[in-house]
Structures are given as C-alpha cells and as structure tokens.
Structure 1
Amino acid sequence: MIDKIKHRAHELFPGIAIAGLVAISAQFLNEHYGAPAMLMAILLGMPLNFLSEEKRTADGIAFSARTLLRIGVALLGVRISVDMVQALGLPFLALVVAGVLATIGFSLLIGNLFGKDRLFSFLSGGAVAICGASAAMAIGSILPKREHAERDLAFTVITVTVLSTLAMIFYPILTASLGLDRDATGVFLGGTIHDVAQVVGAGFSVSEETGDLSTLVKLIRVTLLAPIVLIAALILRKGTEPGAARPPLMPLFVVAFLILATFNSFGFIPEIVKDAASQVSRWALLAAIAAVGMKTSIPKLLEVGGPAIWMVVTQTVFLALFVLAGIWLIG
C-alpha cells in the first residue's frame, strides 16, 4: 500500500509542481503589479498546453485541475457562518439570494439566443451569479463530460475575471454617480462583482465600512455555491441517459464545504486554523486554475466565439440591474 502511494506521488509530483510554480508566478504579479491572480494563473498556464500531453506531467496537471480544485472549494467553508447571514438583514439577504437565482434562470433562458446549450449557460450563469472563477470551476467539475468542457471552462474563467476587474474599477464610480449611501453601495458591490478579490478591492476603495459590508455580501453569495452545485448534481444525475456515467449523488467537496461552514458557525474552528485553511484554499484554487490553463488550447478557446462573450456581458448587466432595482425597492 505504501509503495503504491509513493509510486502515485512520484507520478503526480512533476505536474503538480509545474501548476504550483505557475500559481506562484501569478501571485507575484498580483502582489507587485496588481494583476488579478486568477486571470494571470490561467493566462500563464495556457502557453504550457503541451505539458498536459507530456507523459511525465499529464497526470499531475489533471490531478491539479480536478482534485486541487475541489480541495480549494471545500476549504472556502471556513469563511462562512450563520452570523454573517444574520448580520445582513432579511430584505438584503433575500435580494442577494434572488439575484443569484434570477441570474442563473435568466442565463438558461437566453442561451439559445447566443447559440449556446444549457450546460454552457449554467456554467457561465453560475460563475456570474455566485463567485466568478471559483464557481465556474466547481460547476464545471459536476457537468457531464463533453468534447469542449475544458475549453468552455477556461473561456468562462477568463471572461468573468476580466469583467470582474472592470467592475472593480467602474462600479464604485457608478454607485457614487447614482448617489447610493454606504450600505446600498456595499450591497451593490458585493452582490454584483464576480470574484471575491475584486469585491474587496472595490469595497475598500470607497471606505472601510463599505469594504466590510461588500465582503460580507459577497461571502453570502459564496455560501450559495454549495446548495446550487448540490441541486445541479442531483438534476444532472437524474437526467443522465441509462448506461452513461452518472455524477455523484452528493459531491464530497460540497459535503466538506457544508461541514466546515457548520463548524465555523458554532465557533469550533480557531482563527489560526481558519487563516491557514483560507491560505491553502487560495493556493489550491490558483494551482487548479493554472492547470486548467495548461489543459486549454488557445486555438480551441478562440472557437468559442464572440456571441459567448456577449452572453456573459449580458448576464453581468442583468445581475447589476436586478440588484440595483432591488436596492431602490428596499429603500
């Protein structure tokens, strides 16, 4: 048994090491030049596509793209607690949940208009609605295997990250021009920007109080990742054709996410453990997204086409208008 584990570790190490190096490079660019780490990870990984077909590195890259991803998403649970949900208040909580569900539903409805199937619509809609790249990768891991799965995932990650970065820059200007107060601004930024890092950047660029609130709202959206992935897995499992491989009844990383969130809600997780788990989660997701980039062919990525870009833009605009309308209605 030990020999098998050693042999497997020996097979996986080169690919995992390369994914880790790309993740470190992406983080360096983020810390020194302000470039989005997730976007940098996938862009730096894409020119290394040939390594995903190299015998010595292929297994480790595949492991990073799938298993490290699930570890990273599961560990996000340490950042979630019931107290966070209670602190927001029922009206704004309802708005955040409704925004996520409405955006996913809207995405499924408009997919045909842009020539995309329901799986791509759910993938991109979930990424826009919940938490950007992390949601895209979590949703992508439960979708049935299909020919262009990795291409669609890479496209979605790149597009939502770029749009999230643009939103980080322009949404604070928009909220100021609309005259939104501190609470409304925090809810809007946290309820509409795709990635956590960009929400933090946008919120704290306005004020410390706005940054705290927008981050809270964003993490509540992250909380919805687990139930939505679970429900989607059940639906996909039910709709699988007889004899075809079926998605798991309950993805283990979703179970782990919920368990960690429950433990955190009861105060069972010490701060030092939460900080360590958050760091491991971030690095696991960075390495996973780097591996996804390495498994993505640039010519194939270009095959996705302009309509798909406009589809994600439309989803983003819909979510922004929905949340803005909700804020005005709540007053």
Structure 2
Amino acid sequence: MSVLSMWRVKAAQVAPGLLISATVAAAASFLGTHYGAPVMLFALLIGMAFNFLYDDGPCRAGVDLASKFILRLGVGLLGVRIALDDLARIGVDGAMVLAGLVAATIASGFVIAPLLGRQWRFALITGGAVAICGASAALAIAAVIPPNDKTERNTLFTVMAVTALSTVAMVVYPVLFQALGFSEGQQGFLIGATIHDVAQVVGAGFSVSNAAGETATVVKLFRVAMLPVVLIVIALTLRLGPHGGAQGRIALLPWFMVLFLALVVLGSVVDLPLSAIDPVNTLSRTCLIVAIAALGIKTSLKALSTVGGGHLAVVVIETLVLLGLATLVIGMVDFV
C-alpha cells in the first residue's frame, strides 16, 4: 500500500469523529455568541449528548484525535497572545506577587484535595486551572500528566466548574472590589489575578473602566504566560518523582509547549500586525472548542455525575483561596 493510500485510509477513519466534533463546536459557538454564554460550557454539554456516537459507531478515532492532537495544537497557539513587552508593564513586584499567587493556589489544591478524598491528579488539574487560565490550563496540564481511567472525566468536570465560576465572578467581583474600596487600578489587577478565563476577565475589567480593563488583561496574560513554566515544572517533577513507570513517557518539552514558547518569542522580537495575530488567535480558540466538544462526546453524563460534591468543593475552595490571597497582597503591587 502506498503512502498516499495509507493517508486516505487514515483520513477516512478519523473523518466522522472530526466532523461530529467540529459540528458540536460550531453549534456551541453559535449559541454562545447568540446568548452571550460561555462557549466552552455549551461545547461540553452538547458533546455529552452525543456520547453514544463514541461508544457505538465509527467516530472513536476522530474524536480521540480531536481530544488529543487538536487540543495540544490549540494550547500551543495560545502563545501568540503574549509579548514580553506587555508583560514587562507589570513590573518586578507585580510579577513576584502573581507568581506567588499561582504557586500558592496550586499548592492549596494538594492540601484541600486529599482532605476531601481526591487524588493528586485532580489537585493538580484544578489547582492549575484556578491559578493560571481556567479551561486552557486544565486541558494543558491533563495533556502532560500520566493519565488514569478518571483523568478525562476529572478534566471535563474541571472545565465545567471553572467556566461556571468565572461567569459568576465576572458579575460579582467588580461589585465586591468596589465595595471593599479598591481603586480602579487595584480592581483591574485583582480581576486579572483572580478570574479564571480570559473572556470573563476582559468582560469584568472593562465593566469597571477602560484603564481597569487594560490592567486586568495584562495581568491575565502574565498568568497565561506562567502556563509553560508550570508545565515544565510538572514534567520535571514527574520525571524525577515517585510516579514510577510514567517517568519515561513524560517529554521534557512537549511539542505544543515548544510552539507556545516560540510564538511568545516571535511576538516579542517582531511587531506582528493584528492581521497576523487575529487568525492564529481564532484558530487557537477554534481548536480548543473542538477539543472540548470531543472530550464531551467521550464522556457520559452518568459517569460525570459520579464525581460527587467533593470535586466541586475542591474547585470552589481553591477559588476562594486565590481570591483571599490576592486581596491580602494587593498593597504590595506598586504599579496599580
């Protein structure tokens, strides 16, 4: 069989699953735009309604491809959003505070999760999602840790939880921070430092003022920029740590992390026009929505319902830990 024939056979195998994942993603995007609701959440819920296609049909190969390769591609392309010049506006004090908040939030997961009977994988996925950038971080961390039979279910639950909490925070946090007497600059910093997903950060920040919105966006981009750092730390820890046979399967720098870093460097040394950035940013978001749809298709609602209240409690407590720590240390940040 020729190489071309092999590719045709492979394409025929993955086409049904890719098509259903893309269709669910398109429907979710339409509904999210039409109703102003989180697209990721729609993609998850609609995807789960089509779980029967994954269990009984020709869609398995394509759905698996979407939930793995396309997911990693979307995470890698996130790097186009970030330029080092923008991050430099935060300053040394702001950078140290944000790095400390990320580390403390992830660490809190390893304290909270065992108390509620949850394992280290769930602590890491939820802690990273809350600390860094919501759904994108949950997906990226799940892609580099050694999986078990609960990894996909826990990742899906985390995406749903942080998306829902981000939507609530987008409404509640600006009111809360104003009631606490913080300045517009401080409110922008706190919004960018505590809300999980980028879209909700932008919405909440600009609801305060243009200046607060710009500050919130830059702070949030710094948290996103922490993602490859955290992934490298995770990869190194797993290689050197006690998790046995998984060590040899963890790459030091997975290809999507290399892509992420390369785009950050490119955007920092070359003044890329918006006409170049916007299509890549759109492609990244599209890949992530398709991947989320595929993960939804792979997960049955019955299986997701077995996670229990402890899962939600872990995410909520981590969110409150991040909020509490950020409000305590806001006075240490000079630029706001």
Shared fold (TM-score, shorter chain, > 0.5): yes
Alpha-carbon distance between aligned partners in 2 of 1:103 and 1:6, rounded to the nearest angstrom: 47
CA RMSD of aligned residues (A): 1.5
Equivalent in the alignment of 2:198: 196
Indicate the SS of the match to 2:182: coil
1:93 Cα offset (Å) = 1.9
- The CA distance in 1 between the partners of 2:74 and 2:258, in whole Å, is 13
Q: Structure 2 matches for 1:16-31, cutoff 5 A?
A: 16-31=18-33
Structure 1 CA distance, aligned partners of 2:73 and 2:110?
Answer: 28
Equivalent position amino acid for 2:224 in 1: V
User: CA offsets, 1:246-280, max 9 Å, x none?
Assistant: 22222110011001100111016443221110000
Partner amino acid, structure 2, of 1:295: K
User: What is aligned with 1:228?
Assistant: 230
- Whole-Å Cα distance in 2 between the matches of residues 29 and 73 of structure 1? 23
CA contact (8 A) 1:11 1:60 kept: yes
Q: Which residue in the other structure is 2:142 paired with?
A: 140
CA gap 1:243/1:253 in 2 versus in 1, 3 angstroms: closer
What are the Cα deviations for residues 128-163 of structure 1, in whole angstroms up to 9, with x where unaligned?
000000000000111212111111111111111111
Equivalent residues of 2:146, 2:246 under 8 A apart: no
Q: With structure 2 as the length reference, what TM-score do the two structures score? A: 0.95
**Cα pair distance change 1:105/1:86, threshold 3 Å:** same
Matched, 1:310 2:313: yes
* Whole-angstrom distance in 1 between the partners of 2:246 and 2:27: 43
- Equivalent residue for 1:176? 178
> For 2:281, which of 268, 278, 282 is the aligned residue?
278
Range with bigger deviation, 89-98 or 56-65: 89-98
Tell me how many residue pairs correspond in the alignment: 331
- What is the deviation of 1:243? 8.1
* Residue of structure 2 in register with 1:43 after alignment: 45
Q: Verify: 1:84 aligned to 2:80, yes or no.
A: no
Shift of 1:8: 1.4
Relative to structure 1, the CA distance from residue 234 to residue 244 in structure 2 (aligned partners, 3 Å threshold; closer, same or farther) is closer
Q: Residue 190 of structure 1: CA displacement?
A: 0.5
1:160 matched to 2:179? The reply is: no
Residues 92 and 187 in structure 1, CA contact (< 8 A), matched pair in contact too: no
CA distance, structure 1, for counterparts of residue 230 and residue 188 of structure 2: 24
Aligned to 1:8: 10
Overall identity of the aligned pairs, in %: 42
Q: 1:117/1:4 Cα in 2 relative to 1: closer, same or farther (>3 Å)?
A: same
SS at 2:94 equivalent:
helix
Equivalent-residue separation in structure 1 for 2:275 and 2:7 (angstroms): 30
Contact 1:68 1:288 (C-alpha < 8 Å) held by counterparts: yes
Tell me if the contact between 2:87 and 2:221 (Cα under 8 Å) persists in the aligned partners: no
- Tell me if 1:258 matches 2:261: yes
Question: Equivalent residues in 2 for 1:56-95 (5 A)?
Answer: 56-95=58-97
Structure 2 residues not aligned, in runs of 5+: none
Q: Contact between 2:239 and 2:247, CA under 8 Å: does it hold in 1? A: no
Deviations, residues 199-246 of structure 1 (Å, cap 9, x unaligned):
111111111221111111111100011111121022223334248762
Moved over 6 A (4+): none
Provide TM-score, normalisation by structure 1. Answer: 0.96
| Structure 1 residues not aligned, in runs of 5+ | none
Give the secondary structure class of the aligned counterpart of 2:53: helix
CA distance in 1, matches of 2:245, 2:179: 55
Aligned to 2:295: 292
